[in-house]
């Protein structure tokens, strides 16, 4: 599941920097952004999304080193690691209680532009000043690219057939990043479907260790499919899954909301809910921010002892619920 989480995140970064239509070609010179994305996932402790960082951050989610992750756990880990990743600058939203809150996502993704004369003001003050001086129509906050992960439980011991059509519909959305899931003892990254067969990538293959070469490049052969994607019947899917979506711009998110309303929420037994306002019985939503530390994220979680020295939920990040 750690590797599957890396796959979904890597796909989001490809969409972020290279575009959804970009394709890898063997032996072809690749853009510098591509090489930089690969370096985020090298198996080294100082790489932001390395398997070391993900496993160690999982300690804060109650998972000991070496213990298996579920789709929701890996989503929470990616959400926390992304706070240290300034280059990709992703807003990672993980839905709670099968509910996606539009208001919270827009609060997290709308970034107010700062100029030299507003640098000392709070975001709220800057927003008011901009509106007063330029008029509301002239002011438009920037959008922080969104990685939206929706963890779901689609049954008890096996997937409930009533969810099958809606689950497949998610793969059709242009914002789709596929789904994390699998079957007992096997985690897969699902990227599409053919009829009632899910198409997936299988991470259960041992690869030779890869590191940055002297010229700063990464040998990328094993980062791509060495064998054809596989298939499995959708009814064999473990009911614990996590859907992934990427919205580079606000209009992409608005379009996703429209598709969900049209294709998902029409069902009597819905996979998840999409609501406009933050539920009043939930604690207030506070967008997560990077902890105030003087080290990099890699150094900050360099050992499990450091994680045990403080209360993660209180000192590391303010959770939404």
pLDDT grade for 304, boundaries at 50, 70 and 90: very low
153 Cβ contact list (under 8 Å, min separation 6): 98, 239, 240
| Dihedral of the alpha carbons of 215, 220, 221, 227, in degrees to the nearest 10 | 180
**Is a pLDDT exceeding 70 seen at residue 178?**
yes
213-228 pLDDT tens trace: 878 788 888 888 777 8
pTM: 0.83
Question: For the chain, what percent of residues have pLDDT higher than 90?
Answer: 63
pLDDT reported for residue 217: 87
The region of weakest confidence among 30-39, 41-50, 86-95, 137-146 is 137-146
Tell me which H or E stretch contains 129: helix 123-134
Give the chain's mean pLDDT. Answer: 84
SS3 288: coil
256-297 pLDDT tens trace: 999 999 999 987 789 999 999 999 999 999 988 887 654 444
**Is a pLDDT exceeding 50 seen at residue 77?**
yes
Mean pLDDT computed over 300-312: 46
Do 97 and 108 contact (CB within 8 A), yes or no? no
pLDDT reported for residue 190: 97
122 Cβ contact list (under 8 Å, min separation 6): none
Mean pLDDT computed over 11-36: 92
Tell me which H or E stretch contains 101: strand 99-101
Dist. CA 47–CA 66, nearest whole Å: 19
SS3 316: helix
83-129 pLDDT tens trace: 999 999 999 999 999 999 999 999 999 987 654 343 444 444 434 43
DSSP 39-94: HTTSSSTTSTT-HHHHHHHGGGGT--TTPPPPHHHHHHHHHHHGGG-TTT--EEEE
pLDDT grade for 28, boundaries at 50, 70 and 90: confident
Dist. CA 309–CA 158, nearest whole Å: 39
């Amino acid at each position: 599941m750690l590797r599957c989480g890396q796959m979904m995140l890597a796909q989001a970064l490809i969409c972020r920097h290279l575009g959804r239509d970009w394709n890898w070609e063997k032996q072809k010179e690749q853009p510098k952004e591509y090489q930089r994305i690969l370096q985020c996932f090298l198996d080294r402790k100082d790489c932001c999304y390395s398997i070391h960082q993900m496993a160690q951050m999982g300690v804060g989610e109650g998972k000991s080193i070496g213990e298996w992750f579920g789709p929701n756990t890996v989503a929470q880990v990616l959400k926390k690691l992304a706070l240290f990743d300034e280059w990709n600058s992703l807003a990672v939203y993980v839905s709670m209680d099968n509910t996606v809150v539009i208001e919270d996502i827009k609060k997290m993704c709308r970034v107010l532009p700062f100029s030299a004369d507003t640098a000392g003001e709070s975001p709220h003050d800057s927003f008011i000043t901009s509106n007063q001086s330029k008029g509301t129509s002239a002011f438009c906050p920037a959008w922080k690219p969104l990685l939206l992960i929706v963890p779901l439980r689609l049954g008890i011991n096996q997937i409930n057939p009533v969810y099958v059509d809606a689950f497949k519909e998610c793969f059709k959305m242009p914002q789709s990043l596929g789904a994390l899931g699998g079957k007992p003892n096997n985690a897969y990254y699902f990227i599409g479907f053919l009829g009632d067969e899910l198409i997936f990538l299988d991470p259960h293959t041992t690869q030779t260790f890869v590191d940055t070469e002297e010229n700063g490049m990464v040998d990328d052969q094993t980062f791509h499919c060495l064998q054809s994607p596989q298939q499995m019947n959708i009814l064999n899917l473990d009911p614990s899954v996590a859907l992934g979506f990427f919205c580079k711009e606000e209009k992409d998110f608005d379009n996703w909301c429209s598709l969900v309303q049209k294709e998902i929420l029409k069902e009597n037994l819905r996979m998840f809910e999409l609501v406009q306002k933050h539920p009043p019985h939930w604690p207030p939503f506070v967008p997560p921010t990077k902890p105030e530390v003087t080290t990099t994220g890699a150094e900050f979680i360099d050992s499990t002892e450091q994680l045990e020295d403080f209360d993660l939920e209180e000192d590391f990040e303010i959770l939404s619920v």
